[in-house]
Amino acid sequence: MNLTQVTARIGREREEDASPLLSLIKDPKKVKEKETPYILFMTIHLDDQYIRFDQPSPYNEEVPKKYYYFGNNSAQEAQVYLVREVDSLHYLLTSVWGELIQALEKAGLKESRLYQLLQTMKSGGMILEGGKKGKGVLDLSFLPLPQEFYGERLRYDEQDEKNKKKILIGKHELSFEAYLKKTIGDERKENRYVLVIPRIMKDHQVYIPSQMEDYHQLIKKIRRLEDSVEGGNDSTDGKEGKVCYICHQRKADVSSDYTTKFLRSGINKFFVTKKTNFSRNLVNKESYDDNYAICSTCYQDLLAGEKRIERDFRTDIAGENVFILPEGLFDTFSYEALGRIKRGVDLAFQSKVAEDWFLRIEAGAYEFKENKYTVNMIFYRTDGNSVSLLEAIEDVPTLRYLQLMERFRDESEKYRDWLTGFSMGTIYRMVPIHRTKDGTQTDVKRVLSLYHALLSGYIIEREQLFRLFSEAMEKGIKQLQKEEMTDYINLELYGYRREPNFYIRTQVFRYILLFHVLQEIGLLDQPIFHSVDERSIKMDGETLTKEKEKPWFEREIDEIEAFLNDQGFSDRAKALFYLGSLVYSVGKEQERKGHQDKPILKKISFQGMNVKEIIRLYEEVVEKLRQYDAIYLSNELRMNRFHRYFGNLEEKWELSDHANLFYLMAGYAYQVKWRKEEDLQAKGRKDQVEGEGKENDDQE
């Protein structure tokens, strides 16, 4: 993946007559669903010498463009952006005005109308010398006081980090939004104020500084967005200027200084800005900058591309921010096609059933089948001031997504008695991800690494998957026993609160399905299942009649044997499977006797079980079955199969402790079918007991 080329290429799709400032436009934080967002004007009356907050207006998506909301300047830059979110009101109370005056002077804009208006504010005492950087602050005595605080002194202490986002009135502390609402008399809780827009009134004329051409000219200079100089075109003699790393053309305006103007929280900060990998002893090294140098045109393309990527190619996968960037393998480029591919990849992770994905992308499936595009995924975190890379999955052919989703769909059909579906997003719900109180996922890279291996074709360690399964069992079951389940939200445990067995069933068969897919596509370092000949499901009339004449518990064992053979379980795995089904039987007996938490499950070590622990568990299970008078013929058959497949203790045990747990829980989960089917089996057990009693009476 060439991230800069992809970003610049997307940026070139902008309208030719669009202002380069549009690439800087930001969207404010979203309000909650039941809240109504508003904007508020900060009106500075130069004639009457006062400031007030007034004219609340409904917010809409055009507001940031109309009033040029750029967010906050980075900490290293001069604070000159005028439109601010309410949480950032302190900038308008302190540094903005003094630093804006200095920036206009430095840019040679002393003759501008905006500079003259600011000087009028300063001469009228509205802008005072001093402040944190000594560049001037707003005189807060000009600000309005809410009626209930008349006579009190309004102040703001920018040195006080504790109260950095509070207005102090007398002994009272108010958040910025609370102060603004009290000032305009708004008592409705659902009304939220998101942006504050300064405007200046002089000689009965209204100026909105953020819309003034003087302001736009200043921002363009600061952000290096001026129109390309004449030298920005290819040099006629081929010798002047340096080579742009993006367009590879020699231009007079090529410079590495552009890279310092990128937002610290944007996608353009992901590529190298300080070093380049080439020899410093090149013959024509004077043509290249040591740093990542670009021309003005490509700089604007990168800014515009960053804006469009943030708007159209960002989503949330596995609880993290991610950019999904399709890239054409050929010169042809369709922005609409990239959008459809992005949505298709996103749906692969958001859909819970693979079949739903095929139905929803049917119209655009040809773009996945043609394999003319690759997909890049960049997982990242940002706090608004900086950005950090979590995982980069690069150059995945679209056909890979199609093939994986087809396998998930086909395998899901085989396990429809235990699973409602499977997709790429299901994997995130299979691995316990701890979430801190502030919402940070501490070990999400384990899931992202699985996605990376699955999509890029890297080998996955079998034992690592068994360990993840053990952890899913341990963490999930412990959480289900708590009143509040807040540590592993990705497991979606609330749906299993009343039926923990369903959680076990779901996770077991998710892993079985994933194991089969990984083994089929050759991504496991060691096979999990043994190859077996495909079992024919066809039966002639005589065989079918004999099958129907068998008692139900014998037919059930035959079905289990068929299932185990189809899966390719080894003999030891089969033994553990039957032990798991016996554990389930004990749990059902305990549940009937009022032990809803099934104490037998506490005998299982969900961190893995060695052979000695397996034997002790079997002895415990047999003892409990005798205690509950539950040695039915069906359980005797299971015990018989356990002994048959367990083998000789002197032989080497080839399974790990975590694999032992997996096969054990597989047998347990197999018995957890839909409630209706469990009721039928319960009735069958009752009939079996009655039949055994009748047989004994006949013998007597």
* Nearest-5° Cα angle at 127, 121 to 132: 155
- The pLDDT of residue 700 is 34
Residue 513 CA to residue 548 CA, distance in Å, equals 30
Residue 393 CA to residue 377 CA, distance in Å, equals 5
Residue 585 CA to residue 604 CA, distance in Å, equals 15
Q: Which two tokens stand for residue 70?
A: 């750029």
Mean pLDDT of the chain: 84
Nearest of 367, 378, 365, 295 to residue 332 by alpha carbon: 367
Give the tens place of pLDDT for each residue, 149-180: 888 888 887 666 666 788 888 888 889 999 99
pLDDT of residue 692 exceeding 60, the answer is no
pLDDT band per the 50, 70, 90 thresholds, residue 110: very high
Residue 95 CA to residue 687 CA, distance in Å, equals 84
Whether the Cβ atoms of residue 156 and residue 168 lie closer than 8 Å to each other: yes
Q: Which two tokens stand for residue 626?
A: 């005798």
Q: Which two tokens stand for residue 406?
A: 């087809």
Where is 45: in which H helix or E strand?
strand 36-45
Average pLDDT over residues 118-138: 77
Q: Which of 54-58, 74-78, 224-228, 266-270 has the highest mean pLDDT?
A: 54-58
Whether the Cβ atoms of residue 80 and residue 214 lie closer than 8 Å to each other: no
Give the tens place of pLDDT for each residue, 395-449: 999 889 999 999 999 999 999 888 888 999 999 999 999 988 888 999 999 999 9
**Ramachandran area for residue 39 (φ above 0: left; ψ -120 to 50: alpha; else beta):** beta
Least confident residue range of 223-237, 256-270, 423-437, 593-607: 223-237
- The pLDDT of residue 158 is 66
pLDDT band per the 50, 70, 90 thresholds, residue 227: low
Residue 86 CA to residue 35 CA, distance in Å, equals 15
Residue 232 CA to residue 246 CA, distance in Å, equals 14
pLDDT band per the 50, 70, 90 thresholds, residue 678: very low
pLDDT of residue 331 exceeding 80, the answer is no
Give the tens place of pLDDT for each residue, 346-400: 999 998 888 888 888 765 556 777 778 899 999 999 887 788 899 999 999 988 9
Give the E-state strand segments of 370-491 in sequence order. Answer: 373-382, 387-397
Residue 483 CA to residue 445 CA, distance in Å, equals 28
Whether the Cβ atoms of residue 363 and residue 425 lie closer than 8 Å to each other: no
The residue ranking higher by pLDDT, 223 or 41, is 41
Least confident residue range of 323-337, 462-476, 570-584, 608-622: 323-337
The residues near 164 (Cβ < 8 Å, ≥ 6 apart) are 90, 158
- The pLDDT of residue 396 is 93
pLDDT band per the 50, 70, 90 thresholds, residue 673: confident
Helix H segments across 130-271?
176-184, 213-222
Q: What type of residue sits at position 394? A: E
- The pLDDT of residue 695 is 37
pLDDT of residue 231 exceeding 60, the answer is no
pLDDT band per the 50, 70, 90 thresholds, residue 514: very high
Q: Residue 567's beta-bridge partner residues?
A: none
Q: Which two tokens stand for residue 287?
A: 């043509």
pLDDT of residue 663 exceeding 80, the answer is yes
Average pLDDT over residues 658-668: 96
- Determine phi and psi for 673, rounding to 5 degrees: -105, -170
- The pLDDT of residue 320 is 94
Where is 128: in which H helix or E strand?
strand 127-128
- The pLDDT of residue 54 is 93
Least confident residue range of 203-207, 229-233, 492-496: 229-233
Residue 630 CA to residue 575 CA, distance in Å, equals 20
- The pLDDT of residue 377 is 94
- Number of alpha carbons in the 13 Å side-chain half-sphere of residue 663: 29
Residue 561 CA to residue 568 CA, distance in Å, equals 11
Residue 114 CA to residue 577 CA, distance in Å, equals 79
Where is 123: in which H helix or E strand?
helix 113-123
- The pLDDT of residue 410 is 93
Render the burial of 633-653: b for 16+ CB within 10 Å, e for the rest.
bbbebbbebbeebbeeeeeee
Q: What type of residue sits at position 268? A: N
- The pLDDT of residue 539 is 39
Give the tens place of pLDDT for each residue, 524-535: 999 999 865 443
Average pLDDT over residues 114-133: 82
Q: What is the dihedral of CA 373, 374, 380, 382, to 10 degrees?
A: -20
Against a cut of 0.85, is the pTM above it? no
Give the length of the chain. Answer: 700
- The pLDDT of residue 676 is 42
Residue 620 CA to residue 603 CA, distance in Å, equals 8
Residue 599 CA to residue 597 CA, distance in Å, equals 6
Give the tens place of pLDDT for each residue, 617-635: 999 999 999 998 988 888 9
- Determine phi and psi for 48, rounding to 5 degrees: -95, 0
Residue 569 CA to residue 561 CA, distance in Å, equals 10
Average pLDDT over residues 278-283: 50
Q: What is the dihedral of CA 202, 205, 209, 214, to 10 degrees?
A: -100
Q: Which two tokens stand for residue 88?
A: 């950032």
Distances (CA, A) of 636 to 28, 361, 616, 632: 67, 51, 18, 6
Q: In the block, which residue shows the tokens 């917010």?
A: 59
Q: Which two tokens stand for residue 236?
A: 């006629």
The residues near 80 (Cβ < 8 Å, ≥ 6 apart) are 73, 96, 99, 100, 103, 218, 219, 222
Give the tens place of pLDDT for each residue, 447-481: 999 999 999 999 999 999 999 999 999 999 999 88
pLDDT of residue 315 exceeding 50, the answer is yes
- Number of alpha carbons in the 13 Å side-chain half-sphere of residue 254: 25
Percent of the chain at pLDDT > 90 equals 47
pLDDT of residue 616 exceeding 50, the answer is yes
